[in-house]
A and B are shown apart, each in its own frame.
Chain A
Amino acid sequence: ETGVTQSPTHLIKTRGQQVTLRCSSQSGHNTVSWYQQALGQGPQFIFQYYREEENGRGNFPPRFSGLQFPNYSSELNVNALELDDSALYLCASSLTSSSYEQYFGPGTRLTVT
């Protein structure tokens, strides 16, 4: 069984640029959730994708968008990067959209300068 993988591991971008982060869900899981984790804090829910549709969104602006593909892998896109977007971005997969037991990837560390 393959766990959740994310790419890239680290990324440095300049304010105003755009970034795409990628996630492959655990085998058999059809739901992917994305979180932002600032240093010293718990993860904050960005949004969830279930069967290629957005299935819930946290308190993040529209410049945070996502996609889920037929194989349940997912992308997180952030436009017009701001310094405050610097964080660890975590992807988690779950068996179904109604399951709260989520399995996380190692994250992508994004630094915006």
Chain B
Amino acid sequence: GQQLNQSPQSMFIQEGEDVSMNCTSSSIFNTWLWYKQDPGEGPVLLIALYKAGELTSNGRLTAQFGITRKDSFLNISASIPSDVGIYFCAGPNSNYQLIWGAGTKLIIKP
């Protein structure tokens, strides 16, 4: 079935650093969604993308819908401690059901 692969699995960040992560699939997607989940909470929608090549920002976050429609990217500029958490990409499969990647975990460098 369709799968979403996120990388990296985890990354250590220092305050002020820019962060990049991506989500890839062997199948074409018509919508890409990026969510963030904090411990003990449900995922929160960050950005929704609907068109190949689309670049959308939400504050310090920018996400892109890859032109092949098989990938998407999320960038965080000038990271702050509250950016720590797990970032998920999600997209609808052929049955219009959302499938999710396994997440990218952002951790603060000690």
A100 near B48: Cβ-Cβ < 8 Å: yes
Q: How far is the CB of A105 from chain B (nearest CB, A)?
A: 5
User: Inside 8 A of A28's CB, which chain B residues have their CB?
Assistant: none
A106 touches B102 (CB 8 A): no
Chain A residues with CB under 8 Å of B40's CB are: 106
- Interface contact A102-B45, CB-CB below 8 Å: yes
A106–B97 touching, CB < 8 Å: no
Q: Is the CB of B98 within 8 A of A100?
A: yes
User: CB of A4 within 8 A of chain B?
Assistant: yes
Instruction: Report B8-29 residues with CB < 8 Å from chain A CB.
Output: none
A-B contact count (CB 8 A): 51
Asked if A90 and B42 sit within 8 Å, CB to CB, the answer is yes
| CB interface residues, B 87-108, toward A, < 8 Å | 88, 90-92, 95-103
Pick from A41, A102, A106: contact of B41, CB below 8 A: A106
Q: How large is the interface on A (under 10, 10 to 19, 20 to 34, 35 or more residues)?
A: 20 to 34
State whether the Cβ of A8 lies closer than 8 Å to any Cβ in chain B: no
Q: For the complex, give the distance between the alpha carbons of A62 and B24 in Å.
A: 31
**CB-CB nearest in chain A for B1:** A59
Q: At the interface, yes or no: A49 with Cβ under 8 Å from chain B?
A: no
Q: Is B53 positioned at the interface, with any CB of A under 8 Å from its CB?
A: no
Residue on A with the closest CB to B100?
A42
A92-B42, A105-B42 are contacts. A100–B101 as well, Cβ < 8 Å?
A: no
- Interface pair A42/B88, CB less than 8 Å apart: yes
Bound-complex Cα distance A40 to B44 (A): 17
The 5 closest A-B pairs by CB, nearest first: A104-B42, A42-B100, A45-B97, A104-B43, A43-B100
A residues near B (Cβ < 8 Å) are 4, 33, 40-45, 48, 56, 58, 90, 92, 98, 100-107
